[in-house]
Chains A and B, each alone.
Chain A
């Protein structure tokens, strides 16, 4: 297991708070995440119901349960990453390195880091209809960047692939610069997106110029 110190912004006062970005999460960590987040999911759901927010505007991962993903972490190809701040898991990601290969023409068949699951803690969700502003910012960005870095460390040149939930598509396309490769029937019609080695180099280089 290794970790690095990062800073994430607390929304309430705009202050950057020290957080830990961990890799090598254990199956029991996913169980803790599942347990810790379950009560908050339930509260969000009740608030959504009370305020009669239409179902199609509910956060699309509202009913996920990370406990069910815990066994996956026993596989060599799987890695769990998470951000801890104020002694709570603020965002979690499960990546795989062997099950999927690149689909973009230039990289076709080459290995990539596939983001199997990525989610931000429910108390960090922004849901204006129920006055939820989210506690910490940037968790999705931090985790995505970590996946690109993992890909570089693995010798995959930063290539990353994922199937985004519809509500998350703009983020991966616009913020992360991923290329959309169409809907995937085998994956519940979710949009498959990929970051090429070239696109990744741009993202990783940005850091070196500052």
Chain B
């Protein structure tokens, strides 16, 4: 793995709770959750920059909602 640097992060209580919940549900450390979030954000952003669209589909695949980032 590549060398890493440390930074301090200021989060509100609500943000910290959300991070803890995700960390629990995804079975990941808090750092790993934030790393995943960054990867996902960068990937989605790169595809939208390229002109792709991001959709969410419901179970029946009937409704699609366009997501803008």
Contact = CB atoms under 8 A, between A and B. Distances in A.
Q: Is the interface of B mostly helix, strand, loop or mixed?
A: helix
15 contacts: A24-B2, A75-B42, A75-B46, A76-B38, A76-B39, A77-B42, A98-B39, A98-B43, A99-B40, A99-B43, A110-B27, A153-B1, A155-B28, A155-B29, A157-B27
A75 B2 contact: no
B27 A2 contact: no
Q: Which residue among A2, A76, A99 has the maximum number of chain B CB atoms within 10 Å of its CB?
A: A76
Nearest to A157: B27
Interface in B32-62: 32, 36, 38-40, 42-43, 46
B32 A154 contact: yes
Given A75-B46, A110-B26, A111-B26, A155 B32 contact: yes
A182 interface: no
Contacts of B42: 75-77
Contact of B1 (A2, A75, A110, A111): A2
A81 to B, nearest CB: 12
Interface string A90-133: 00000001110000000001110000000000000000000000
Interface residues of A, number: 18
A111 B43 contact: no
Q: How large is the interface on B (under 10, 10 to 19, 20 to 34, 35 or more residues)?
A: 10 to 19
Contact of A111 (B2, B36, B38, B46): B36
A75 B43 contact: yes
Nearest to A77: B39
Contact of A97 (B2, B25, B26, B39): B39
Given A98-B36, A154-B32, A109 B25 contact: yes
Contacts of B40: 77, 98-99
B54 to A, nearest CB: 12
Contacts of B1: 2, 153
A24 B1 CA distance: 8
A25 to B, nearest CB: 13
A21 to B, nearest CB: 14
Of B2, B28, B40, B43, the most chain A CB neighbours within 10 A belong to B43
Contacts of A99: 40, 43
A77 B41 CA distance: 10
Contacts of A153: 1
